[in-house]
Amino acid sequence: MKLTSEEFLAQGNKAITLIGMSGAGKSYLSDKLEEWGWHNYSCDYLIGTKYLKGLVDGKADRVNDPMSLLSEFVGKIGDPEKGGLAREEFKRRQQLYYDAECEALRDTLPALDESGGQQKSFVNDSAGSLCEIEDKKLIASIGEKTLFVYLKIGQENYRELLRRAIEYPKPLYFPPNFLRERLAHYMKDLDVENVEEVDPDGFLRWVFPHLFETRLPKYQGLADEYGVSVNMSELKDVASEDDFINIVARALDE
């Protein structure tokens, strides 16, 4: 959905898809927009509570923490004594997550139609791995109905994101070829022969910058085709719906 700023501002009910790396602020911004009356379509939340519900259900005292349960299900590859998963089990869960994300994206448009009937603007809080979806027709269907807003990470923000990724390594989705190549490289560097010897957190700390670098041009390509790029630092002090709308409108003029 390529719009001029005038067209975007003139829209009654707006529809956007926030894209960008995990930690860029998509969920924070989506929650703020929800507070201001928007319909918040959270892909990862729906993956955990609907599309993979039977697989990620956890302890009764944690039913209100679906995102944590989803992360645990996706898991980390490596030494089982350190909380890691065997290669084939990790790959199985990665595929299940990928398929569930595609299902969540396919259901975006019906949810958008429903929000229109409720006279609400719509924000699609996409997963960080949206840029890895290979179904171009599916991505195009979302891009034709919503404006992609890429939360671009500047150098200062990247250092903070990297610090968090190192201190608190969390499960991530990896494209199969990327995982195979990076894991082989990591094991060779550390002279590790078996996946079961890989330190799960150590691998995540090492691989994050590589994943980050490969995703940047993918996000930018989606923004160029279906929307705009906005530096995430511009959005940190957004205090109202109008603030957000005006920032996006300015980006459309650039």
- Give residue 155's domain range: 5-253
Average pLDDT of the chain, as a whole number:
92
* Tokens 């299900």, residue located: 73
pLDDT, residue 66, reads 76
pLDDT, residue 156, reads 78
Q: Name the pLDDT band for 64 (thresholds 50, 70, 90).
A: low
- Distance, in Å, from the CA atom of 66 to the CA atom of 248, rounded to the nearest integer, reads 31
What are the tens digits of pLDDT across the range 200-239?
A: 999 999 999 999 999 999 999 999 999 999 998 888 789 9
3-class DSSP state of 39: strand
Average pLDDT over residues 85-111: 96
pLDDT, residue 235, reads 86
Look at the chain and report how many structural domains it folds into.
Answer: 1
3-class DSSP state of 228: strand
CA atoms within 13 A on the CB side of 252: 21
What are the tens digits of pLDDT across the range 159-168?
A: 888 898 899 9
Q: In the numeric block, which tokens belong to residue 206?
A: 């090492």
Percent of the residues in the chain that have a pLDDT greater than 70, as a whole number: 97
Q: Name the pLDDT band for 57 (thresholds 50, 70, 90).
A: low
Q: Between 66 and 59, whose confidence is greater? A: 66
Q: Is residue 61 over pLDDT 60?
A: no
Q: In the numeric block, which tokens belong to residue 61?
A: 């005292």
Other Cβ atoms less than 10 A from the Cβ of 233: the count is 14
pLDDT, residue 68, reads 86
Q: Which of 57-71, 139-153, 163-177, 228-242 shows the lowest per-residue confidence on average (mean pLDDT)?
A: 57-71
3-class DSSP state of 75: coil
Q: Name the pLDDT band for 59 (thresholds 50, 70, 90).
A: very low
Q: Is residue 60 over pLDDT 70?
A: no
Q: What is the CATH number of the domain that holds 82?
A: 3.40.50.300
Other Cβ atoms less than 10 A from the Cβ of 191: the count is 7
pLDDT, residue 54, reads 83
Average pLDDT over residues 129-142: 97
Average pLDDT over residues 114-142: 95
Burial 135-173 (b: 16+ CB within 10 A, else e): eeeebeebbebbbbbbbbbeeebbeebbeebeeebebbb
pLDDT, residue 63, reads 53
Average pLDDT over residues 78-89: 96
Q: What is the DSSP letter of 227?
A: E
CA atoms within 13 A on the CB side of 26: 28
Q: Name the pLDDT band for 198 (thresholds 50, 70, 90).
A: very high
